[in-house]
Amino acid sequence: MEADGYSLDDKRTFIDGKGDIPDIIEQFRARRERDPTDRKAKCFFVPTAEIRENNYDLSISRYKEIEYEEVEYEAPEVIIEKIQALESQIQQNLNELKGMLKESKQVSR
């Protein structure tokens, strides 16, 4: 469970749609329809023997399999070109603003 649906401050006010409890209830009711041993799912069953082997450690990290997705980034050269294009645009805009300021000072005199 990640969130119980209440704020973390001392008032513990209800935050509509922000709790896991309805999902937990739904998962429990549908437990026979799903693969209970899929360790990549949000909820799964762990055999008692395995829990015993782990000295009754109930840390989720002991049992849950985490899938890491490889992130592919653009080539550094492409990223640098994009940054330079943005910098060029920023400089153009700054020069335009400076020109507007000069014009407004001349008009106000």
pLDDT tens digit sequence for 19-38:
777 777 887 887 778 777 78
pLDDT at residue 93, as a whole number: 97
- Same-domain status, 83 and 97: yes
DSSP SS3 for 104: helix
- Same-domain status, 21 and 50: no
C-alpha triplet 46, 48, 53: angle, nearest 5°? 100
- Same-domain status, 60 and 76: no
Domain that holds residue 3: 1-33
- Same-domain status, 77 and 104: yes
- Same-domain status, 26 and 51: no
pTM of the model: 0.44
